[in-house]
Amino acid sequence: MRIAALDDEAVQLDLIRHTMEGMGHECHGFSDGKTLLRDLRQQTYDLLILDWTLPDVQGPRVVRWIREDLSSRIPILFVTNRREEKDMVEGLAAGADDFMVKPIRVAELQARVHALLRRSYPAQHDADLIFGAYHFVPATRSLRVHGTLAELSHREYELALFLFQNLGRLLSREHLREAVWGVGAESPSRSLDTHVSRLRVKLDLMPSNGFLLSAVYGLGYRLESIDANLLSSLYNSTSQPE
Protein backbone atom coordinates (compact mmCIF):
# COMPACT_ATOMS: atom_id res chain seq x y z
CA MET A 1 0.00 0.00 0.00
CA ARG A 2 1.03 3.63 -0.59
CA ILE A 3 0.94 5.66 2.64
CA ALA A 4 1.52 9.35 3.37
CA ALA A 5 2.65 10.45 6.85
CA LEU A 6 2.59 14.05 8.10
CA ASP A 7 4.57 14.98 11.23
CA ASP A 8 6.89 17.95 11.84
CA GLU A 9 9.06 15.95 14.28
CA ALA A 10 11.75 14.15 12.28
CA VAL A 11 12.18 11.37 14.85
CA GLN A 12 8.44 10.60 14.87
CA LEU A 13 8.25 10.72 11.07
CA ASP A 14 11.19 8.32 10.76
CA LEU A 15 9.56 5.93 13.24
CA ILE A 16 6.29 5.94 11.30
CA ARG A 17 8.08 5.46 7.98
CA HIS A 18 10.22 2.62 9.34
CA THR A 19 7.15 0.90 10.83
CA MET A 20 5.17 1.17 7.60
CA GLU A 21 8.05 -0.09 5.48
CA GLY A 22 8.48 -2.97 7.91
CA MET A 23 4.85 -3.91 7.18
CA GLY A 24 5.65 -3.95 3.46
CA HIS A 25 4.12 -0.57 2.60
CA GLU A 26 5.62 2.39 0.74
CA CYS A 27 5.61 5.45 3.01
CA HIS A 28 6.05 9.06 1.84
CA GLY A 29 6.88 11.52 4.63
CA PHE A 30 5.87 15.20 4.91
CA SER A 31 6.90 17.71 7.58
CA ASP A 32 4.39 20.49 6.84
CA GLY A 33 0.75 20.62 5.85
CA LYS A 34 1.10 22.85 2.80
CA THR A 35 3.49 20.46 1.07
CA LEU A 36 1.18 17.52 1.74
CA LEU A 37 -1.90 19.38 0.51
CA ARG A 38 -0.09 20.43 -2.65
CA ASP A 39 1.02 16.84 -3.26
CA LEU A 40 -2.50 15.48 -2.72
CA ARG A 41 -3.71 17.53 -5.69
CA GLN A 42 -1.50 15.43 -7.98
CA GLN A 43 -0.90 12.14 -6.18
CA THR A 44 -3.03 9.42 -4.61
CA TYR A 45 -2.40 7.39 -1.46
CA ASP A 46 -4.11 4.48 0.30
CA LEU A 47 -3.80 5.85 3.84
CA LEU A 48 -2.84 9.10 5.62
CA ILE A 49 -1.17 9.15 9.05
CA LEU A 50 -1.51 12.66 10.45
CA ASP A 51 -0.16 14.65 13.39
CA TRP A 52 -2.45 17.23 14.98
CA THR A 53 -0.23 20.21 15.80
CA LEU A 54 1.88 21.42 12.87
CA PRO A 55 3.82 24.65 12.28
CA ASP A 56 1.55 25.88 9.48
CA VAL A 57 -1.85 24.23 9.95
CA GLN A 58 -3.88 22.18 12.44
CA GLY A 59 -4.60 18.54 11.70
CA PRO A 60 -8.41 18.80 11.75
CA ARG A 61 -8.23 21.56 9.12
CA VAL A 62 -6.18 19.25 6.87
CA VAL A 63 -8.77 16.51 7.28
CA ARG A 64 -11.68 18.82 6.48
CA TRP A 65 -9.89 20.07 3.36
CA ILE A 66 -9.32 16.50 2.18
CA ARG A 67 -12.93 15.53 2.79
CA GLU A 68 -14.58 18.70 1.46
CA ASP A 69 -12.28 20.16 -1.20
CA LEU A 70 -10.83 16.91 -2.55
CA SER A 71 -13.96 14.84 -1.79
CA SER A 72 -11.56 12.04 -0.87
CA ARG A 73 -12.45 9.06 1.31
CA ILE A 74 -8.83 8.09 1.96
CA PRO A 75 -8.64 6.52 5.45
CA ILE A 76 -7.02 8.92 7.93
CA LEU A 77 -5.36 8.03 11.24
CA PHE A 78 -4.50 10.75 13.76
CA VAL A 79 -1.30 10.05 15.74
CA THR A 80 -1.02 12.90 18.21
CA ASN A 81 -0.08 14.14 21.67
CA ARG A 82 -3.70 15.23 22.16
CA ARG A 83 -5.31 12.86 24.64
CA GLU A 84 -8.52 14.53 25.87
CA GLU A 85 -11.87 13.04 24.89
CA LYS A 86 -12.90 16.33 23.30
CA ASP A 87 -9.84 16.13 21.02
CA MET A 88 -10.79 12.67 19.84
CA VAL A 89 -14.35 13.84 19.20
CA GLU A 90 -13.11 16.87 17.24
CA GLY A 91 -10.73 14.76 15.14
CA LEU A 92 -13.32 12.15 14.26
CA ALA A 93 -15.95 14.84 13.60
CA ALA A 94 -13.57 16.50 11.12
CA GLY A 95 -13.55 13.25 9.14
CA ALA A 96 -10.69 11.14 10.53
CA ASP A 97 -11.25 7.38 10.79
CA ASP A 98 -9.16 6.57 13.87
CA PHE A 99 -7.22 8.28 16.67
CA MET A 100 -4.03 7.16 18.41
CA VAL A 101 -2.21 8.93 21.27
CA LYS A 102 1.58 9.39 21.36
CA PRO A 103 4.07 8.12 22.36
CA ILE A 104 3.89 5.79 19.39
CA ARG A 105 3.73 2.13 20.31
CA VAL A 106 4.82 0.23 17.20
CA ALA A 107 2.57 -2.79 17.73
CA GLU A 108 -0.48 -0.57 18.24
CA LEU A 109 0.34 1.51 15.14
CA GLN A 110 0.71 -1.66 13.08
CA ALA A 111 -2.61 -3.02 14.36
CA ARG A 112 -4.53 0.20 13.70
CA VAL A 113 -3.08 0.61 10.21
CA HIS A 114 -3.83 -3.02 9.35
CA ALA A 115 -7.42 -2.70 10.60
CA LEU A 116 -8.00 0.54 8.69
CA LEU A 117 -6.63 -0.87 5.43
CA ARG A 118 -8.58 -4.09 5.77
CA ARG A 119 -11.81 -2.17 6.43
CA SER A 120 -11.20 0.35 3.65
CA TYR A 121 -10.03 -2.08 0.96
CA PRO A 122 -11.75 -5.42 1.62
CA ALA A 123 -11.21 -6.64 -1.95
CA GLN A 124 -7.45 -6.67 -1.39
CA HIS A 125 -7.77 -9.16 1.46
CA ASP A 126 -10.04 -11.70 -0.20
CA ALA A 127 -8.91 -14.97 -1.77
CA ASP A 128 -10.50 -15.26 -5.21
CA LEU A 129 -11.80 -11.92 -6.46
CA ILE A 130 -14.88 -11.76 -8.67
CA PHE A 131 -16.04 -8.58 -10.38
CA GLY A 132 -18.90 -9.45 -12.70
CA ALA A 133 -17.44 -11.45 -15.59
CA TYR A 134 -13.88 -10.97 -14.28
CA HIS A 135 -12.56 -13.71 -11.97
CA PHE A 136 -9.09 -13.26 -10.42
CA VAL A 137 -7.29 -16.19 -8.78
CA PRO A 138 -4.25 -14.66 -7.00
CA ALA A 139 -2.91 -18.08 -5.98
CA THR A 140 -2.25 -18.92 -9.65
CA ARG A 141 -1.97 -15.31 -10.84
CA SER A 142 -4.66 -15.94 -13.40
CA LEU A 143 -7.70 -14.05 -14.66
CA ARG A 144 -10.72 -15.47 -16.45
CA VAL A 145 -13.17 -13.31 -18.38
CA HIS A 146 -16.54 -14.94 -19.01
CA GLY A 147 -14.81 -18.20 -18.07
CA THR A 148 -12.01 -17.84 -20.63
CA LEU A 149 -8.42 -17.52 -19.43
CA ALA A 150 -6.98 -14.12 -20.34
CA GLU A 151 -3.47 -14.17 -21.78
CA LEU A 152 -1.71 -11.49 -19.76
CA SER A 153 1.92 -10.69 -19.06
CA HIS A 154 3.08 -10.42 -15.44
CA ARG A 155 2.72 -6.63 -15.37
CA GLU A 156 -0.59 -6.65 -17.24
CA TYR A 157 -1.99 -9.02 -14.60
CA GLU A 158 -0.63 -6.87 -11.76
CA LEU A 159 -2.09 -3.73 -13.31
CA ALA A 160 -5.48 -5.33 -13.94
CA LEU A 161 -5.65 -6.69 -10.39
CA PHE A 162 -4.67 -3.35 -8.85
CA LEU A 163 -7.24 -1.44 -10.91
CA PHE A 164 -10.06 -3.82 -9.96
CA GLN A 165 -9.01 -3.82 -6.30
CA ASN A 166 -9.34 -0.02 -6.38
CA LEU A 167 -12.54 0.11 -8.38
CA GLY A 168 -13.94 3.64 -8.62
CA ARG A 169 -10.78 5.32 -7.30
CA LEU A 170 -8.73 7.80 -9.29
CA LEU A 171 -5.15 6.49 -9.16
CA SER A 172 -2.27 8.77 -10.03
CA ARG A 173 0.26 7.66 -12.62
CA GLU A 174 3.00 7.49 -9.98
CA HIS A 175 0.78 5.40 -7.71
CA LEU A 176 0.14 2.92 -10.52
CA ARG A 177 3.79 2.74 -11.54
CA GLU A 178 4.89 2.07 -7.94
CA ALA A 179 2.23 -0.62 -7.50
CA VAL A 180 3.11 -2.48 -10.71
CA TRP A 181 6.78 -1.74 -11.43
CA GLY A 182 7.94 -1.13 -7.86
CA VAL A 183 9.37 1.92 -6.11
CA GLY A 184 12.33 3.42 -7.93
CA ALA A 185 12.05 0.99 -10.85
CA GLU A 186 13.02 2.33 -14.26
CA SER A 187 10.24 2.19 -16.84
CA PRO A 188 9.74 3.91 -20.21
CA SER A 189 7.61 7.05 -19.98
CA ARG A 190 4.86 5.54 -22.13
CA SER A 191 4.97 2.05 -20.63
CA LEU A 192 2.00 2.63 -18.31
CA ASP A 193 -0.14 4.02 -21.13
CA THR A 194 0.80 1.05 -23.34
CA HIS A 195 -0.19 -1.45 -20.64
CA VAL A 196 -3.49 0.35 -20.03
CA SER A 197 -4.25 0.34 -23.76
CA ARG A 198 -3.53 -3.38 -24.00
CA LEU A 199 -5.76 -4.15 -21.01
CA ARG A 200 -8.68 -2.27 -22.55
CA VAL A 201 -8.44 -4.53 -25.60
CA LYS A 202 -7.50 -7.85 -23.96
CA LEU A 203 -10.13 -7.58 -21.21
CA ASP A 204 -12.73 -5.76 -23.32
CA LEU A 205 -13.18 -3.12 -20.62
CA MET A 206 -16.29 -1.60 -22.12
CA PRO A 207 -19.68 -0.57 -20.66
CA SER A 208 -21.21 -3.65 -22.34
CA ASN A 209 -19.09 -5.74 -19.94
CA GLY A 210 -19.93 -3.52 -16.97
CA PHE A 211 -16.66 -1.60 -16.63
CA LEU A 212 -14.99 1.47 -18.08
CA LEU A 213 -11.28 2.30 -17.83
CA SER A 214 -10.77 6.01 -18.40
CA ALA A 215 -7.86 8.46 -18.31
CA VAL A 216 -8.07 11.63 -16.22
CA TYR A 217 -5.88 14.20 -17.95
CA GLY A 218 -2.78 15.15 -16.01
CA LEU A 219 -3.57 12.80 -13.10
CA GLY A 220 -3.98 9.12 -13.89
CA TYR A 221 -6.59 6.44 -14.52
CA ARG A 222 -9.88 5.27 -13.03
CA LEU A 223 -11.66 1.94 -13.49
CA GLU A 224 -15.40 2.29 -12.90
CA SER A 225 -18.30 -0.09 -12.68
CA ILE A 226 -20.96 0.73 -15.28
CA ASP A 227 -24.56 -0.44 -15.32
CA ALA A 228 -24.82 -1.65 -18.93
CA ASN A 229 -28.59 -2.09 -18.73
CA LEU A 230 -29.03 1.47 -17.48
CA LEU A 231 -26.82 2.83 -20.25
CA SER A 232 -28.79 0.86 -22.82
CA SER A 233 -32.11 2.16 -21.55
CA LEU A 234 -30.81 5.74 -21.51
CA TYR A 235 -29.51 5.36 -25.05
CA ASN A 236 -32.79 3.90 -26.25
CA SER A 237 -34.82 6.64 -24.57
CA THR A 238 -32.73 9.40 -26.15
CA SER A 239 -32.78 7.67 -29.55
CA GLN A 240 -36.56 7.56 -29.85
CA PRO A 241 -37.94 9.87 -32.59
CA GLU A 242 -40.02 12.77 -31.33
65-92 pLDDT, tens digit per residue, is: 999 888 888 999 999 988 888 888 999 9
Kindly indicate the confidence band of residue 185, based on its pLDDT and cuts at 50, 70 and 90.
low
Q: Are strands 76-80 and 47-50 parallel, antiparallel or unpaired?
A: parallel
Question: β-strands 47-50, 2-6: how paired?
Answer: parallel
Convert the pLDDT of each residue in 99-139 to its tens digit.
999 999 999 999 999 999 888 887 666 668 889 889 998 87
The average pLDDT across 93-98 equals 92
Q: Write the pLDDT tens digit of every residue in 45-62.
A: 999 999 998 888 888 999
Burial of 188 (0-12, 13-18, 19+ CB in 10 A): exposed
pLDDT greater than 60 at residue 232: no
Domains and CATH numbers, the chain: 2-120 (3.40.50.2300), 125-230 (1.10.10.10)
pLDDT in tens, 153-163: 989 999 999 99
How far apart CA 85 and CA 75 sit, in angstroms, is 21
d(CA 124, CA 33): 29
- Give the helix/strand (H/E) hosting 187: none
**Angle at 231 (CA atoms; ends 225, 236), nearest 5 degrees:** 170
